[in-house]
């Protein structure tokens, strides 16, 4: 949707904006889809062209001035060939999407898998519209989306093995979309794993639309480990059915410019949303996690716990907005964001927001910069562990604690390995 | 092995003096019991020995094997063989017990110039020591001390002591929180470690523990000083009569 405001003098486009407009002109003939899909693409690109990318004057981009931060766009040439990797956990069922191209050959009981490209080609009403005029990720993705996956999990299906969406990039650009629908009473784990397999710069936009059916119990892990020169723009939109439970982990350990948005609504009573965030940031990078949740119906609960460890000159952002609709009584929503700043130049901005229109609700939020617990440090040192090493263990513990909440031991171990490897490299 | 000379210490960044001219000598192979009323400075003394930075030594010295340890930090003191079994062991969420044990053992070995333990050797040692102390392997899979009962925490402290093989062991009220059977198990664990080149400082309120771990000397601490020293019969006397007489005589 493009709410066109009349612009009398067209803005002067930045290098990146010009590159996006030019790329669209080059690619438009071969982008999949006609009819309304094409109209949506045109509108989205037009939004970029006339309004530019958002600056800090746009409220939802206040801490991430995309216009200033996105300096260049990698060329849309063919990226070097890459191969599928082993899963994050050894028992994962891997669905590779390499340089934006999915492999849909795999089949699992109760799960229907198709390519998003086929949807774009066959359904000219395929949903690809941006969320609104401030949805820059949507605008970029809608303009350029070429492929992705459409996954339907039939009612009552239990995924015996975690499903890994292995989204690897070697260079260039990929614009992907994922439509995932979990039927009623389904259970399972999805690992959305973004990684870079080369030192070349890449630009990835990835949007997923997830529907969690009534009574479903789903764990979704977004593990983003792009390279230090990559731009990663991702968005997850979800709807939670009655008595459904979605546990979402958002783990960022890479990327030069990262924005991960999560937008959810509870559409069925008794639903529960749990979000856990881990941001391990270092170097000269910018990482933004922006989250909005609408408690739209009564009796729903949510908890968000975000832990950040920031080194060097890295900058992190967490925006969390919880809206409680007027008749959404008995909502219970909690949000906490804690940060360990490991250098004087490290920076974290947290903006928790509660918009409550119902009266019988329990909501709370807190955002703090914390320090290593002195008693914990002393206890470890009193056992002969040198101060540096003891600090390392405690930094690790600060984030590992979040991972240890998971029931799946393999997954806990894999994520703990990711965390210790990252800290070993950066601390 | 340990010689504390006219030690004065205060809470860091304040003027509150807790240890006020304390003298104490413990020889290798000796088991010294430290008794004294609540708040007399027993735990503070143990923290200062271990190198806790919340306290500041203002006068006097602590010699360990003839050398001052005041300039060493907690980890260096531990690696050189000083161990404190805490009155209140600390829970550390997110740090796995096994990982902690392995890092502690290997860092101490590194400090002393010894090779790191192989994983099978490490596992063997932990299994054996845990079995001796009737510690369920399940407990070792949890984060360090998290959710352990009072008695389990005390047992875990003695497990660490057994694995780290220190030379000077300070036990701060290890008996509190232990049931009768556990007291026996833990005491056996301590007694098994008694050797001519190892000394113990056993802080306790009760004669009961000293029936299991029989001390060579007993010292009464009061207001930050040792006000009386005797043999094991002093502990029995205190059990029967309390501290009033001794405090009165010292005043
Ligand atoms: N960090 C501190 N801040 C304030 N007061 C302290 C601190 N540490 C010790 N004290 C005080 O110093 C005194 C000695 O405390 P300590 O814990 O050493 O006593 P204790 O002999 O171990 O007592 P108990 O038998 O009850 O364990 C107490 O009055 C205590 O309140
Ligand atoms: Mg005490």
ipTM: 0.96
How far does residue B43's CA lie from ligand 1's centre (Å)?
A: 7
Identify whether the C-beta of residue A63 lies closer than 8 Å to the C-beta of residue A288: yes
Compare all CA atoms of chain B with the CA of A405 and give the residue at the minimum distance: B94
The model's pTM is: 0.85
CA atoms within 13 A on the CB side of B182: 18
- Return the pLDDT at B127: 95
How far, in Å, is the centroid of ligand 1 from the Cα of A83? Answer: 63
CB burial of residue A12 (10 Å; 0-12, 13-18, 19+):
exposed
pLDDT(A279) > 70: yes
Tell me, what's the pLDDT at A159?
A: 97
Rounded mean pLDDT of A61-78?
A: 92
pLDDT value of residue A371: 85
User: Would you call B44 an interface residue with chain A, using a CB distance cutoff of 8 Å?
Assistant: no
What pLDDT does B186 receive?
A: 87
What average pLDDT score do residues B34-46 get? 95
Q: Which residues from A are below 8 Å from B148, CB to CB?
A: none
In this prediction, residues A160-166 reach a mean pLDDT of 96
Q: Which of A240, A268, A296 is the last residue of a domain?
A: A268
Tell me the mean pLDDT in the region A227-254: 97
DSSP A108: B
Q: pLDDT tens digits, residue range A21-42?
A: 999 999 999 999 988 999 999 9
Shared domain for A52 and A191, answered yes or no, is yes
| Residues of the domain holding A37 | 15-268
| B11 within ligand 1 shell (Cβ under 6 A) | yes
Residues A110 and A238 occupy one common structural domain:
yes
* Residue from B9, B43, B84, B224 to probe ligand 1 pocket by mutation (most atoms less than 8 Å from CB): B43
* CB < 8 Å to A420, chain B: none
Shared domain check, A243 and A378: no
pLDDT of residue A9: 63
A106-110, A207-211, B73-77: least confidently modelled range = A106-110
The residue whose two tokens read 């990982």 is B99
CB-CB under 8 Å, A380 with B92: yes
- Chain B CB within 8 Å of residue A381 CB: yes
Mean pLDDT of B104-125: 96
Q: What pLDDT is stored for residue A2 in this prediction?
A: 55
Number of domains in chain A: 2
- Distance from the alpha carbon of residue B233 to the mean position of ligand 2, in angstroms: 22
What is the mean pLDDT of the segment spanning A346-351? 95
CA distance B95 to B143: 5
Domain boundary among A268, A302, A319: A268
Q: What average pLDDT does the segment B9-18 reach?
A: 95
Q: What is the mean pLDDT of residues A93-106?
A: 92
**pLDDT reading at A8 higher than 60:** no
Domain spans, chain B: 2-94+167-250
Asked if B92 has any chain A CB less than 8 Å from its own CB, the reply is yes
Cα-to-centroid distance, B87 and ligand 2 (Å): 6
Task: Confirm or reject contact between A376 and chain B (CB < 8 A).
Answer: yes
The CA distance from A404 to A352, in Å, is 25
Least confidently predicted of A158-162, A408-412, B184-188: B184-188
- A341, part of any domain: no
The whole-number average pLDDT for the span A325-335 is 94
Residues A45 and A177 in one domain: yes
Atom of ligand 1 nearest to the CA of B205: 25
Is A255:A284 a contact under the CB 8 Å cutoff? Answer: no
The last residue of one of the domains, among A247, A268, A289, is A268
| Residues of chain B with C-beta less than 8 angstroms from the C-beta of A399 | 94
> What integer is the mean pLDDT of A155-166?
97
Say if residue A7's pLDDT is above 60: no
Query: For a pLDDT cut of 70, what percent of chain B falls above it?
Result: 100
Of B34, B44, B55, B170, the one to substitute when testing ligand 1's pocket (max ligand atoms within 8 A of C-beta) is B44
Please report whether residue A132 resides in a domain: yes
Helix A387-403 vs helix A374-381: crossing angle, to nearest 10: 120
Q: Is the CB of B12 under 6 A from ligand 1?
A: no
Evaluate whether residue A10 is within a structural domain.
Answer: no
Question: What is the model's pLDDT at position A106?
Answer: 73
Looking from the CA of residue B47, the nearest atom of ligand 1 is 18
Is the pLDDT confidence value at B112 over 80? yes
Phi, psi of B238 (to 5 degrees): -65, -40
What is residue A68's three-state secondary structure? helix
pLDDT at position B36, please?
93
Taking an 8 Å cut-off on Cβ atoms, the answer to whether B74 and A381 are in contact is yes
More confident residue, A137 or B241: A137
Min Cα–Cα distance to chain A from B236, Å: 32
Please state the rounded mean pLDDT for residues A232-241.
Answer: 98
CA distance B107 to B89: 20
Write down the pLDDT at residue A78. 75
The bound ligand whose nearest atom lies closest to the alpha carbon of B172 is: 2
Same domain for A253 and A398: no
Q: For residue B177, what pLDDT band results from cuts at 50, 70 and 90?
A: confident
In this structure, the answer to whether residues A378 and A250 fall within a common structural domain is no
Confidence (pLDDT) at B249: 81
* CATH entry, B2-94+167-250, from 1.10.510.10, 3.40.50.300, 3.40.50.150, 3.40.50.2300: 3.40.50.300
Give chain B's mean pLDDT.
93
pLDDT at A427 over 90: no
For residue B203 the two structure tokens come to 């802080």
* pLDDT surpassing 90 at residue A143: yes
User: Is there a contact between B103 and A375 if contact means CB atoms under 8 Å apart?
Assistant: no
CB A125: neighbour CB atoms within 10 A? 9
Scanning every residue of chain B, which has its alpha carbon at the shortest distance from the alpha carbon of A399? Answer: B94
Per-position DSSP letters for B12-80, written without gaps between them: TTS--EEEEEEEEEE-TT-EEEEE--TTSSHHHHHHHHHT-TTEEEEEEEEEETTEE-TTS-HHHHHHT
Contact A384 B143 (CB under 8 A): no
How large is the average pLDDT for residues B130-137?
90
Across the interface, whether the CB atoms of B94 and A375 are under 8 A apart is answered no
CB–CB contacts below 8 A, A to B: 77
Residue A268 predicted with pLDDT over 60: yes
All residues at 6 or more sequence positions from B121 whose CB lies less than 8 Å from its CB, including other chains: none
Q: What is the mean pLDDT of chain A?
A: 94
Q: pLDDT for A353-408, tens place per residue?
A: 999 999 999 999 888 888 889 999 999 999 999 999 999 999 999 999 999 999 99
Write out pLDDT tens, residues B220-250.
Answer: 999 999 999 999 999 998 888 888 888 888 7
Cα torsion through A255, A259, A262, A263, rounded to 10: -160
- Look at residue A6 and tell me whether its pLDDT is greater than 70: no
Mean pLDDT of A51-63: 96
| A274: β partners | A247, A303
Protein residue with least CA distance to atom 18, ligand 1: B41
Which residues sit opposite B19 in a β-bridge?
B9
Burial (Cβ within 10 Å: 0-12, 13-18, ≥19) of residue A248: buried
């Amino acid at each position: 949707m493009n709410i066109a405001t009349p612009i009398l003098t067209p803005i002067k486009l930045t290098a990146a904006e010009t590159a996006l407009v030019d790329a669209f002109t080059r690619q438009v003939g071969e982008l999949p889809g006609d009819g309304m899909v094409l109209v949506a693409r045109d509108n989205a690109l037009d939004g970029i062209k006339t309004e530019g990318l958002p600056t800090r004057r746009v409220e939802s981009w206040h801490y991430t001035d995309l216009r200033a931060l996105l300096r260049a766009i990698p060329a849309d040439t063919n990226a070097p060939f890459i191969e599928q990797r082993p899963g994050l956990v050894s028992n994962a069922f891997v669905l590779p999407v390499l340089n934006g191209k999915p492999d849909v050959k795999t089949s699992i009981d109760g799960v229907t898998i198709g390519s998003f490209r086929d949807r774009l080609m066959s359904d000219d009403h395929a949903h690809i519209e941006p969320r609104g005029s401030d949805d820059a990720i949507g605008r970029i993705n809608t303009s350029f989306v070429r492929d992705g996956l459409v996954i339907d999990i039939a009612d009552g299906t239990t995924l015996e093995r975690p499903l890994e969406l292995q989204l690897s990039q070697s260079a260039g650009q990929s614009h992907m979309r994922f439509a995932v629908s979990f039927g009623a009473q389904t259970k399972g784990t999805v690992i959305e794993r973004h990684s870079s397999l080369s030192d070349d710069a890449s630009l990835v936009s990835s949007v997923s639309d997830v529907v969690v059916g009534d009574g479903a119990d789903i764990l979704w892990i977004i593990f983003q480990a792009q390279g230090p020169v990559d731009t990663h723009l991702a968005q997850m939109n979800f709807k939670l059915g009655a008595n459904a439970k979605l546990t979402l982990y958002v783990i960022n350990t890479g990327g030069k410019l990262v924005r991960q948005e999560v937008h959810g609504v509870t559409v069925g009573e008794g639903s529960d949303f749990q979000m856990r965030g881990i941001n391990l940031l270092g170097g000269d990078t910018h990482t933004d996690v922006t989250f909005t949740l609408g408690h739209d119906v009564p009796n729903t609960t949510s908890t968000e716990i975000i832990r950040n460890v920031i080194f060097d000159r890295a900058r992190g952002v967490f925006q969390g907005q919880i809206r409680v609709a007027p008749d959404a009584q008995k909502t219970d929503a909690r949000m906490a964001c804690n940060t360990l700043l490991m250098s004087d130049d490290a920076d974290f901005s947290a903006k928790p927001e509660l918009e409550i229109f119902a009266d019988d609700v329990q909501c709370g939020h807190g955002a703090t910069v914390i320090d290593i617990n002195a008693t914990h440090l002393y206890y470890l040192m009193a056992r002969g562990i040198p101060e540096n090493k003891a600090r390392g263990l405690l930094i690790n513990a600060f984030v590992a604690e979040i991972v240890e909440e998971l029931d799946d031991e393999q997954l806990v171990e894999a994520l703990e390995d990711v965390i210790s490897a990252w800290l070993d490299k950066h601390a | 092995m340990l010689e504390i000379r006219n030690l004065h210490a205060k809470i860091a960044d304040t003027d509150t003096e807790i240890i006020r001219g304390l003298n104490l000598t413990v020889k290798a192979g000796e088991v010294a019991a430290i008794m004294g009323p609540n708040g007399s400075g027993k735990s503070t003394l143990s923290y200062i020995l271990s190198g806790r930075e919340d306290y500041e030594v203002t006068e006097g010295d602590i010699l360990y094997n003839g050398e001052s340890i005041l300039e060493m930090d907690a980890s260096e003191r531990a690696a050189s063989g000083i161990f404190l079994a805490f009155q209140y062991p600390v829970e550390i969420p997110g740090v796995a017990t096994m990982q902690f044990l392995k890092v502690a053992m290997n860092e101490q070995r590194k400090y002393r110039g010894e090779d790191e333990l192989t994983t099978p050797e490490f596992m063997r040692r932990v299994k054996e020591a845990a079995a001796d102390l009737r510690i369920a392997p399940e407990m070792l899979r949890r984060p360090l001390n998290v959710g352990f009962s009072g008695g389990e925490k005390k047992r875990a402290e003695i497990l660490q002591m057994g694995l780290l093989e220190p030379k000077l062991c300070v036990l701060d009220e290890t008996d509190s929180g232990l049931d009768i059977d556990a007291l026996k198990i833990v005491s056996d664990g301590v007694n098994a470690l008694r050797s001519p080149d190892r000394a113990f400082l056993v802080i306790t309120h009760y004669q009961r523990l000293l029936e299991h771990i029989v001390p060579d000397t007993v010292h009464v601490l009061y207001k930050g000083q040792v006000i009386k020293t005797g043999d094991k019969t002093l502990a029995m006397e205190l059990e029967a009569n309390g501290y009033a007489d001794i405090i009165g005589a010292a005043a």
